[in-house]
Amino acid sequence: MVSKLEEYMFDLNGYLVVEKALSPVEVAELNESLEAIPALEPGEWYGYVHREKFEASRGVAWQQIYEAGEPFERLIDHPSWLERVTRFVGGEGTFDYNHGPLFIDENFATFRSPGQAIGLHAGGYDASKKQQYRVQNGMFMCGQINVLIALNDIGPGDGATMVIPGSHKSNFPHPQFAEHVIAEGASVEGTAGAIEVPMKAGDAILFVDAIAHGSAKRSNPGQRRFIVYRYGSTWNFFRWGYRPSPELLARLTPRRRAIVWPWQEWPRVPNRKG
């Protein structure tokens, strides 16, 4: 059940932190599963897991991480956030909702080492559909809700996620946007209004993609580990052109399969020659 306070704070700030979203056992299983994946060069595949290509200063991302085994499959409909995500993506009673309320268009594991970060991006002024934030008649209608799960403690100097609270409703770009936007060596540190979000291993942060966000630059030794699942309604599609494997779809529960590939149950309309 999503509390009235959570609804209020999410509407006000654009994000929520769910403490202890995962148990220590779940965190350990995820970390062990990641350790079992060999080091990948940019563009390389391990089964159906793919290392993304982007600026080296952003760290490493392994896309389609729900293909890496059952611990990641459990995250698809995890009870710590599924109801919240469903509420904030919204659209109950609409055409899209009737075919399944959710779809994951991107999911990945991300690792950052000292000196690495991601710059500022998004903001309410952006008109793209995935960055839509709207509430009407008490119903949320968000283009995308991001769930970031910490697999180790993230505090000062660890490269924490940074957000600008309330920026999901902004009508203007941040005046410092160009100074901190995603680029080689960029971070959100020094952006007026931006805050770091400290997390313990197993905590999750949920935020609407419309909020201006990024990260601080890691200065401590070691590695920052996060899992990211991005949820939207069924009119979304895969951001980078990935597709779930037949093997994954075959072994998923019906609810998980409906979130990963929600169009499977749609009626097939014959073509004119049919």
270 within domain boundaries: no
How far is C-alpha 108 from the geometric centre of its chain's CA atoms?
A: 8
> How far apart are the C-alpha atoms of 36 and 28, rounded to whole Å?
12
Distances from the Cα of 269 to the Cαs of 103, 272, 273, 274, in angstroms? Answer: 22, 9, 11, 9
Q: Which helix (H) or strand (E) holds 66?
A: none
Q: What is the DSSP letter of 269?
A: P
Contact 16, 9 (CB under 8 A): yes
**Residue 269 maps to a domain:** no
For 38-54, give the DSSP string. Answer: PP--TT-EETTEEEPP-
- Please tell me what DSSP assigns to residue 254: H
Would 21 be classed as within a structural domain? yes
Q: Is position 100 within any domain? A: yes
pLDDT at site 83: 96
Q: Is residue 268 part of a domain?
A: no
Is residue 271 one of the residues assigned to a domain? Answer: no
- Residues 6 or more apart in contact with residue 91 via CB below 8 angstroms: 97, 101, 139, 141, 233
Considering the entire predicted model, what is its pTM? 0.93
Distance from C-alpha of 36 to C-alpha of 30, rounded to nearest angstrom: 10
Token pair 């970390």 is at which residue?
31
Domain count, the chain: 1
Q: CATH no. for residue 88?
A: 2.60.120.620
- Cβ burial of 130 (10 Å; 0-12, 13-18, 19+) is middle
Backbone phi, psi, residue 90, to 5°: 75, -155
Pairing mode of beta strands 195-196, 161-163: antiparallel
- Domain-located, residue 267: no
**Per-residue confidence (pLDDT) for residue 270, from 0 to 100:** 45
What pLDDT score was predicted for residue 274? 36
CB-neighbour burial class of residue 81 (10 A; exposed 0-12, middle 13-18, buried 19+):
buried
* Residue 61 within any structural domain of the chain: yes
Q: Look at residues 63, 87, 65 and name the one whose alpha carbon lies nearest to residue 76.
A: 65
Per-residue pLDDT for the chain (274 aa), expressed as one digit of tens each? Answer: 799 999 999 999 999 999 999 999 999 999 999 999 999 999 999 999 999 988 788 899 999 999 999 999 999 999 999 999 999 999 777 766 666 789 999 999 999 999 999 999 988 676 666 778 999 888 899 999 999 999 999 999 999 999 999 999 999 989 999 999 999 999 999 999 999 999 999 999 999 999 999 999 999 999 999 999 999 988 788 888 899 999 999 999 999 999 999 876 544 444 444 3
What amino acid is encoded at 5 in this protein?
L
CB 208 within 8 A of CB 14: yes
Residue 157 structural domain: 4-260
Per-residue confidence (pLDDT) for residue 240, from 0 to 100: 86
